[in-house]
């Protein structure tokens, strides 16, 4: 999966409200957490244990909450308005199911039955052999 990031995030009002000394760390955390949420299909929930694993500056998560990019949630943080900008787990699973069905239908339409394929191959070989044999027999006649 992937995580959508506005190409103007670097100058967004919310990000620019974060003090300069904390801005880069907060933006990095926001980006990494968004990528992780997209991959894990958490609908924007960031568990605290992931912050412990990533080791962002202590002020980063607080800064994201203070400017309204994140909200406190039980056991971690939640991206604000995740489903307005990112596909939800339900969206992704629905799209994946549709793709599986579409691909399976294509495979079924284009799959040759093994025995039919062998029969077609043997008929083609026999026809070529008969043509080649006729040519050879014709060239051997006086």
Confidence at residue 115, expressed as pLDDT on a 0 to 100 scale:
53
Calculated CA dihedral for residues 92, 94, 98, 100, nearest 10 degrees: 60
Summarised one tens digit per residue, pLDDT across range 23-38 is 999 999 999 999 999 9
> In the β-sheet with 76-79, what is the strand arrangement from edge to edge?
45-47, 76-79, 70-73
**Residue that is last in its domain, among 85, 101, 125:** 85
Residue 43 lies in domain: 9-85
Contact between 92 and 40 under an 8 Å Cβ cutoff? The reply is no
Summarised one tens digit per residue, pLDDT across range 58-100 is 899 999 999 999 999 999 999 999 999 898 989 888 988 898 8
- Name the 3-class secondary structure at 46: strand
- The answer to whether residues 58 and 122 belong to one domain is no
pLDDT band at 15 (very low <50, low <70, confident <90, very high): very high
Confidence at residue 122, expressed as pLDDT on a 0 to 100 scale:
72
Q: Nearest-5° angle of CA 85, CA 86, CA 89?
A: 145
Average pLDDT score over the chain = 87
- The answer to whether residues 81 and 97 belong to one domain is no
The 3-class secondary structure across 59-119, one letter per residue, is HHHHHHHHCCCEEEECCEEEECCHHHHCCCHHHHHHHHHHHHHHHHHHHHHHCCCHHHHHH
Determine, yes or no, domain membership for 1: no
List the single range of 27-31, 49-53, 89-93, 120-124 with lowest mean pLDDT: 120-124
The count of domains in the chain is 2
- The answer to whether residues 70 and 93 belong to one domain is no
CA distances from 55 to 42, 95, 96, 124 (A): 20, 34, 33, 66
Determine, yes or no, domain membership for 102: yes
**Residue that is last in its domain, among 43, 61, 85:** 85
pLDDT at 43 over 80: yes
pTM score, two decimals? Answer: 0.71
- The answer to whether residues 104 and 80 belong to one domain is no
């Amino acid at each position: 999966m992937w995580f959508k990031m506005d190409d103007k995030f670097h100058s967004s009002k919310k990000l620019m409200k974060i003090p300069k000394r904390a801005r880069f760390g907060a933006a990095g955390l926001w980006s990494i957490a968004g990528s992780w949420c997209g991959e894990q299909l958490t609908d924007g929930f960031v568990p605290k244990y992931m912050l412990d694993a990533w080791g962002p500056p202590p002020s980063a998560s607080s800064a994201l909450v203070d400017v309204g990019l994140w909200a406190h949630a039980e056991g971690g943080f939640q991206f604000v308005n995740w489903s307005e900008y990112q596909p939800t787990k339900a969206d992704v699973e629905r799209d994946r199911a549709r793709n599986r069905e579409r691909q399976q239908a294509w495979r079924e339409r284009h799959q040759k039955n093994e025995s039919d394929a062998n029969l077609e191959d043997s008929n083609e070989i026999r026809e070529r052999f008969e043509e080649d044999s006729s040519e050879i027999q014709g060239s051997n006649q006086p």
